[in-house]
Amino acid sequence: MTASIVGWAHMPFGKFDAETVESMIVRVANEAIADAGIAAGDVDEIVLGHFNAGFSPQDFTAALVLQADPALRFKPATRVENACATGSAAVHQGIRAIEAGAAKVVLVVGVEQMTRTPGPEIGKNLLRASYLPEDGETPAGFAGVFGIIAQRYFQKYGDQSDALAMIAAKNHHNGVANPYAQMRKDFGFEFCRAEGEKNPFVAGPLKRTDCSLVSDGAAALVLTSAENAKTMGKAVNIRARAHAQDFLPMSKRDILQFEGCTVAWQRALADAGITLDDLSFVETHDCFTIAELIEYEAMGLTTKGQGARAIKEGWTQKDGKLPINPSGGLKAKGHPIGATGVSMHVLTAMQLLGQAPEGMQIKDAKLGGIFNMGGAAVANYVSVLEPAK
């Protein structure tokens, strides 16, 4: 336990024509600093998570955080990127700065603006998070990559369309209670299961309801040492964290196993001195419903090929033995790439302090797990959070 989250901010995710990358950064940076009860001048270091990959014409964005307050001028500011795990990469870099004693207070911001990009360009941008020599011509872009994964899973373990629809329905149901969610609509199992004009097949066996949303949004948090956090108004401790990076080409690994996810979970749980059963809930990376299904197995909730059991037997519902994505996940909340991992940490911190929105709060939450993934299980980040004692 080396760092604590002592303040945060989270704007609603969605499609915002009046916002820019800069305006969203400034908004959440100021709100997080105010929420932590500190002055901007107290910040020692800034880390910005911003994937971009062509979504925004403005690159070199780390210094945009300084626009939030003149007192941030001349503070070290760095942009980090690790595909869809960019937000957690930023959080973990901030934690390392605290651990190293290089900073007493770190401001972490995650942001993305995706909706201004034309549809074909969105697919092209996202496909850059795959191995282009092998996957660069995949139809339907990154959805096509996970469509291939779903097809292979179905071939090995049988048709899992019911399980995928149940995961989608669960996350959309949960998202109704999340005021930050882009899509607050309870579609139900039947809609998610049936192919139709409003829910067509997108890639392989994946339908529209199996795919996360194209989103704009930002989130931010303030980190400090666990010792310094004792003097703050609120604190959520980083009990453990782990990052496991795997090969980029899917051809070099068994893509149905998400081995990097397994390794990251094993490292983080061992470091925390706990088992999966000790967690009160998990926010996991459901960029596609097949990803959440395989993550059940990779984290150790079920054995290989049995992920459907977790959703069909209700284990991962809000009132189940391990609630998964009480926020609605990427499926309902939205997936602004650089903001996603920061959002996961913010919403987990809110849960642990009993400050989650009504209807979203997990009763008596004591330990929260986070899994944020970049690419097809390439960048794998796990965090375990708990309220400060």
Name the β-bridge partners of 47. Answer: 78, 108
Position 149 in a domain:
no
Position 68 in a domain:
yes
Position 160 in a domain:
no
Position 31 in a domain:
yes
DSSP string, 272-337: HT--GGG-SEEE---SBHHHHHHHHHHTTSS-TT-HHHHHHTTTTSTTSSS-B-TT-HHHHH---H
Average pLDDT of the residues of the chain: 97
Find, among 373, 352, 96, 86, the residue nearest to 237 by Cα: 352
Same domain, 324 and 219: no
**pLDDT value at position 257?**
97
Position 329 in a domain:
yes
Residue at a domain's end among 229, 256, 272: 229
* Residue 151 pLDDT > 80: yes
> 221-277: per-residue pLDDT in tens?
999 999 999 999 999 999 999 999 999 999 999 999 999 999 999 999 999 999 999
Same domain, 248 and 373: yes
> 165-184: per-residue pLDDT in tens?
999 999 999 999 999 999 99
Same domain, 308 and 343: yes
Same domain, 249 and 374: yes
Place of tokens 């809110």: 350
> 340-353: per-residue pLDDT in tens?
999 999 999 999 99
Give me the domain span that covers residue 311.
239-387
Same domain, 380 and 282: yes
Same domain, 315 and 219: no
Same domain, 222 and 280: no
Same domain, 221 and 266: no
Residue at a domain's end among 176, 198, 229: 229
Position 157 in a domain:
no
Find, among 283, 296, 240, 262, the residue nearest to 377 by Cα: 262
> 182-233: per-residue pLDDT in tens?
999 999 999 999 999 999 999 999 999 999 999 999 999 999 999 999 999 9
Same domain, 248 and 321: yes
Cα gap 219→201, rounded to integer Å? 32
Position 200 in a domain:
no
List 50, 84, 92, 261, catalytic entry: 84
CATH code: domain of residue 38: 3.40.47.10
Same domain, 218 and 260: no
Could you tell me how far CA 164 lies from the centroid of its own chain?
Answer: 19
261 is catalytic: no
Position 262 in a domain:
yes
335 is catalytic: yes
Number of structural domains (the chain) is 2
Residue at a domain's end among 205, 229, 253: 229
pLDDT band at 1 (very low <50, low <70, confident <90, very high): low
Same domain, 221 and 271: no
Same domain, 219 and 328: no
